[in-house]
Amino acid sequence: RQYLQCGRFGHDLAKRPLVMGILNVTPDSFSDGGRHQSLEFAFEAAERMIKDGVDIIDIGGESTRPGAPAVPVQEELRRVMPVIYALRELGVPLSIDTCKPEVMREAIIAGADMINDVNAFRAPGAVDAVKDSDCALCVMHMQGTPQDMQAHPGYADVVGDVIGFLRERMDTLRAAGVAHERVTIDPGFGFGKTVDHNYILLRNISRMQHELGLPVLAGLSRKSMIGAVTGRPLEQRLAGSLAGALAAVAQGARIVRVHDVAETVDALKVWQAATTDNR
Ligand SMILES: Nc1nc2[nH]c(SCC(=O)O)nc2c(=O)[nH]1
């Protein structure tokens, strides 16, 4: 049985896959990019996700899309901290999508249940920032940086390379005293991968899970790997994203990170009914 036993998180992943809702608090994710409006919008979006059945809300203050500009730490703190303090009143588990140790520390103090680091806690000070807490950690594979990762993605063996990377990150975290149960791993769809690499990784989630003995988080929602095979633009990738989420869950993924919470919750309910013996 695999759970994220630590701290406020405490979900028993053995029961059913969890839905992580994406909450971007970056200026480009709000119509006017205004601060006050973004907090109001973030709060309303979170309330909506909770009503729709979300299990975790992932708050991100820095876009990590290919080519996205880096955000200074003070600006990222100004974006995410008000949202964390506001949303923690709603009682829903919160994940913070950040690579910066300073943001990790503040988020943990504010009661974050998970730190979701697309850089796998490689920044100087990142392991120190989280090792003494009980919050859950998502360790994701990325080749290169958001600025250059899609230029020339290449692997000798993409699955073996990703597993090797995640194993090395786990060894570093464990050496720092981080408990195994706190960690969820993630192949990082779209982070230094071609479309083929992404689908090879998707087909091998169960191998990752078994070789590393850790639950897998899958984030395919609306990504270019969905667009590549459907020909759909960003705003028309719901069906493809639902299929991707179910494919990941069929491979044993325990958390899916999505934009469309209500639809994914429904899809997983049908999946659960179709694949679980409820007698
Ligand atoms: N753990 C985790 N965190 C993420 N943050 C983003 S931002 C890019 C986007 O949503 O298009 N993707 C992921 C992902 O795949 N896994």
Interface pTM, i.e. ipTM? 0.99
What's the confidence (pLDDT) of residue 65? 84
Which residue spans within the chain are E strands per DSSP?
Answer: 3-4, 11-12, 18-24, 56-60, 94-97, 114-117, 136-140, 183-186, 217-218, 255-258
The pLDDT profile of the chain, 279 residues, written as one tens digit per residue, is 233 443 344 445 567 999 999 999 988 765 455 556 689 999 999 999 999 999 999 999 999 888 888 899 999 999 999 999 999 999 999 999 999 999 999 999 999 999 999 999 999 999 999 999 999 999 999 999 999 999 999 999 999 999 999 999 999 999 999 999 999 999 999 999 999 999 999 999 999 999 999 999 999 999 999 999 999 999 999 999 999 999 999 999 999 999 999 999 999 999 999 998 765
Provide the 3-class DSSP secondary structure of residue 185: strand
- Which of 56, 71, 118, 214 has most ligand 1 atoms within 8 Å of its beta carbon, as the pocket-test mutant? 118
Q: pTM of the full predicted structure?
A: 0.94
State the closest ligand 1 atom to the C-alpha of 65, by its place in the atom list counted from 1: 8
HSE, CB side, 13 Å, CA atoms: give it for residue 101: 12
Name the active-site residue from 169, 182, 223, 237.
223
User: Of all atoms in ligand 1, which is nearest to the CA of residue 188?
Assistant: 15
In the prediction, which pLDDT does 69 show?
86
Mutate to test the pocket of ligand 1, among 186, 225, 254 (most ligand atoms within 8 A of CB): 186
Q: Across-strand partners of 60? A: 24, 97
| Separation between Cα atoms, residue 142 and residue 120, nearest integer Å | 8
Active-site annotation holds for 203:
no
The rounded Å distance from CA 116 to ligand 1 centre is 9
Neighbour-count burial of 232, counting CB atoms closer than 10 A to its CB (0-12 exposed, 13-18 middle, 19+ buried): middle
The tokens for 33 are 């990019």
Active site residue 269: no
pLDDT at residue 68, rounded to an integer? 84
